[in-house]
Structure 1
Amino acid sequence: MLPAHAQEVLSAARDGQKDFDFEIGTWTTSVRVLRNSLSGQTPDWAEYTGTSVVKPLLDGRANFVELSVAGAKGKIEGGSLRLYNPQTRQWSLNFASLRNGMLTAPVYGGFGESKRGVFYGQDMVDGRAVMVRFVITLVSPSEAHFDQAFSTDGGATWESNWVAVDTLRTRSTG
């Protein structure tokens, strides 16, 4: 669920159905994953590189991201289904990992008038409830940044655990 202030901003926002159109295509992806998230220990980051392919679905009201990256710590493969709700003017982002065949809890939000999308949700990490924030920043037409963070204190502080930089390889129209 979005914090109240974020919900108010989105409900007054314009139609965001085309917010992810910039991302349709094939991207080179560099990902850093915090392997010991919320542990209080020295951060242990793993690095991966590979490909992210984004395809439109249902006349642009949804899209699907195919992610395949590998590094010294192994491989991450999965997909993210993004669905637009025209009544709430929000997107839901729903990630499934091929490692365990499970969907993570969705995050909800949008881009507003900026080139920065902010999405919030709740999930469980090692048996405890956490808030999730996912931020997407369009740096240029050929570069996008993604940052996922967890909070255990209601959003007062955040710990990044997934940082990705995508660089466009090929733009496609669907």
Structure 2
Amino acid sequence: MKTLLPAIFLLYALGPAAAADGQRDFDWEIGSWDTQLMRLREPLSGKTDWIAYTGTSVVKPVMDKRANLVELDVRGPAGRITGVSLRLYEPASGEWTLNFANLANGRMTEPMRGAFKDGVGTFFGDDMVDGRKVRVRFLVIPVSSTQWRFEQAYSIDGGQAWETNWVAIDTRRAGG
């Protein structure tokens, strides 16, 4: 369910500086969140078995908010997912890089690059899935003033078709 909210909410959520140069695009996310995550068990297999997880995301500003650090910790029937994401703003390009590390294997993925437009963040990168090179798309979508949707999809045909494999809904914790 993709919902775009009126521009006034987006300016409030992203802050006035975000409209100017993008450096403050993630300011709305600083704090603690309850995370409901669904992950496709076997991406790119044609199967549609999803696994549910619940937990938290904590987002901390670093370097005067020109970067932020996300700590993800969720659990479900298939186990636990813990990860960290370093997001860096590049003033020259006006883009962010998203750099994710899964703490289970200690490896950082290739960075994804992108920006927010009309309140929606769109980021692209490349990865390997079961020995196959895939294009990755990551969307950050406002649902309400206290809820955001994070959606990842893979493409094996250069972006012609996308298979969504990760959907997280973050709800701001009271006082967080």
TM-score range, shorter chain: 0.7 to 0.9
For residue 140 of structure 1, report the CA deviation from its aligned partner: 2.0
Shift of residue 14, structure 1, vs aligned partner: 4.5
Number of the residue aligned with 2:7:
none
What TM-score comes out, normalization by structure 1 length?
0.88
Q: Is the 8 A contact 1:22 1:141 kept in 2?
A: no
Q: CA deviation at 1:138?
A: 1.7
Tell me the percent identity. 56
What per-residue deviation string (whole Å, max 9, x for no partner) do you get for residues 72-97 of structure 1? 11000010000000000000001101
How far off its partner does 1:141 sit? 2.0
The residue type paired with residue 107 of structure 1 is M
1:142 is aligned to 146
The answer to whether structure 1 residue 25 and structure 2 residue 31 are counterparts is yes
- CA gap of 1:146–1:44, structure 2 versus 1, over 3 A, is same
Contact 1:14-1:89 at 8 Å conserved across structures: no
What is the aligned partner in structure 2 of residue 54 from structure 1? 59
Find the aligned partners of 2:115 and 2:175 in 1 and give their Cα distance.
22
Deviations along 1:104-141, whole A, 9 cap, x unmatched? 111100102x1210000111111111100000012222
**Structure 1 stretches of 4+ moved >3 Å:** none
Q: Which of the residues 115, 120, 123 maps onto 2:119? A: 115
Structure 1 residue aligned with 2:170: 166
Question: Are residue 101 (structure 1) and residue 106 (structure 2) matched?
Answer: yes
Between the two proteins, the alignment pairs up a number of residues equal to 158
Query: Greater relative contact order (Cα 8 A, min sep 6): structure 1 or 2?
Result: 1
Q: Which runs of 5+ in 1 are unaligned?
A: 1-12
SS of equivalent residue, structure 2 residue 87: strand
CA distance in 1 between partners of 2:122 and 2:149 (Å): 12
**RMSD across aligned C-alpha pairs, in angstroms?**
1.2
- Counterpart CA distance in 1 for 2:174 and 2:70 is 14
In 2: Cα distance, 1:136 partner to 1:15 partner: 18
Letter of the 1:128 counterpart: R
The 1-side partners of 2:38 and 2:60 are apart by 23
Structure-2 residue corresponding to 1:73: 78
Structure 2 residue runs of 5 or longer lacking an equivalent are 1-18
2:158 equivalent among 146, 154, 159: 154
CA shift for structure 1 position 171: 5.5
